[in-house]
Amino acid sequence: MKYSTNDIAWLKESLFKVLDNQKVFQTPSKWISNNVVIPAKNSARAGKFDFNTTPYFKEIVDCFNPADPTTLVALEKSTQVGYSQFVITLIMYYMINVPCPIIYSTGKEKTLHTFFEQYLMACISSSGFRSIIRSDSANKRKSGDTKNLKEFAGGRLIGKVLSTASDQGQDPCRFLVLDEVDKGATGTNQGAVAEVALERNKTWIGKKTLIGGSPELAYNSFVSKYYLLGDRSRWNVPCPKCGEFHELTFKNIKITTVEGRQDRSQTYRICPVNGCIYKPEDKRNMNKQGKWIPTAKPKVQGYRSFHVDENMSNLSNDYEIVDKWLKNKDTEDGRKYFNQEVLGRAYKDKAVYLADNWFYKNLGTETTQYKTGQVIDDVMFKTAGADVQQDRIYLEIVGWGEQERSYSLEWKTFMGDTRNPKEGAWALLREYLKNYTYKNTPIDFVAIDSGYNTDAVYNFCISCNQDKYFRANLVP
């Protein structure tokens, strides 16, 4: 009897699952708590690893249990949240409990070398597992313990820098870590390089992927892109007064003004549910009872996403957050720093986008006068961009000619609620796009900003693209 390629693939996957299910894996959080020792030279909190310091990482780390259905975790984060120790302990768990090929890719070469030698190897040694690293591989000409390679029984850990696509090589892996992607290759190239890196474990059965780091600019942040594809879980804690669960956000911090000046020593928080006032010192006890609450349905099965910033961190207090805000709030660079490094959010300033875009830099030298509604022979291709607000949708239709010449053909505003993609402003937009023509041809491509009412945007695009009478292609 001959078997098809699909039959053989199914048999291999089924066998793998049966064998994998026979293994009794300690959950990552339990193993880490029992076995990892943080070295004194790397942390002020040296000693046995304790999730009470970073309780928000416990559920995230358990997503990497081989028995958990999660295949990819996207983690938007700020500084001072314990992220480096989270990644180190997770890699150690796989090296010792689930030995397999592992790739750790990061945005900067300096970060790669520091991570391997000063942090990872130091933690492995202090935890008593230094002997698992092979000093030499079977090939005597190549060491199994270099600055970018750590070999161990059953697998190896390879370090890479996310600079160019060609640097990602052909090494397959089961566990892939893409760390600080947004700090790697610049511009739109960073996403292309990271996408190539993702190919390394694409076909691996039982694969796990971590995409983590501080997001940079909103228009091309790779971390934020995958965060939006997941369930967008948010950390919620109970109010010490009323017990209602809520997020710890910067908006909840209040600074008292004394004699016309904001006094950081008078900082306090307000419960957004019932208006209760509580102290910054209450955060540690609140975090002990915290929990992750998904805010969206994943766009891809097996994807989960989380946001961690200084507001929820036990490693940073509210007085420090206020200090950073007061020092940085008055300058563009300062606000950008605060947004990215303290709040862990992609920066959305349009001025930054325009300054980095050559087309907009040179736009003023290439302008041409024409009347609204005028038919322009040069137009060969038409696109539309839509911006979604709470009670309206703005739409601009642009015609494109040779040498990237563009013409603003229409500007429309559709009033109405935008929560339901089948009603209100959405219904008006759908009807307009469906019937619009220019020179007897429809719009070729429509892009809709999904930063607001994200689910409605995605559902609207899917619905229109499935309509055989709808001639434009829509993307969120």
Distance CA 181, CA 162 (A): 7
Distance CA 408, CA 17 (A): 56
Identify any residues that bridge with 145 across adjacent strands, giving them in sequence order: 150
Q: Quick one: 375 exposed, middle or buried, by C-beta within 10 A (0-12, 13-18, 19+)?
A: exposed
Per-residue model confidence (pLDDT) at position 137: 46
Q: What are the tokens at 99? A: 């030995």
C-alpha of 460 from chain center: 23
Per-residue model confidence (pLDDT) at position 368: 60
Per-residue model confidence (pLDDT) at position 245: 97
> What does the buried/exposed string (b/e) look like for 199-212 if buried means 16 or more CB atoms within 10 Å of the residue's CB?
ebbeebebbbbbbb
Distance CA 186, CA 193 (A): 10
Q: What share of the chain is helix, strand, coil (3-state, %, to 5)?
A: 35, 25, 40
Whether 298 and 229 have beta carbons less than 8 Å apart is answered as yes
Per-residue model confidence (pLDDT) at position 147: 81
Per-residue model confidence (pLDDT) at position 233: 97
Residues 6+ apart with CB under 8 A from 437: none
Digits of tens for pLDDT over the chain (476 positions)?
Answer: 555 665 555 555 554 444 454 455 689 999 999 999 999 877 777 899 999 999 999 999 999 999 999 999 999 999 999 999 999 999 999 999 999 999 999 887 777 888 888 899 999 999 999 999 876 544 444 467 788 899 999 999 999 888 765 566 678 899 999 999 887 654 445 556 788 888 888 888 889 999 999 998 776 788 998 999 999 999 999 999 999 999 999 999 988 777 667 777 888 999 999 999 999 999 999 999 999 999 999 999 999 999 999 999 999 999 999 999 989 988 888 988 999 999 998 886 655 444 455 444 454 445 566 555 565 667 777 888 999 988 899 989 888 877 667 778 888 899 998 888 889 999 999 888 888 887 777 888 888 888 788 888 888 888 887 776 665 666 66
Per-residue model confidence (pLDDT) at position 464: 80
| Longest Cα–Cα distance in the chain | 89
Terminal-residue alpha carbon distance, the chain: 48
| Cβ neighbours, 10 Å, residue 123 | 23
Distance CA 31, CA 296 (A): 30
Element spanning 156, H or E: strand 155-161
Q: Quick one: 389 exposed, middle or buried, by C-beta within 10 A (0-12, 13-18, 19+)?
A: middle
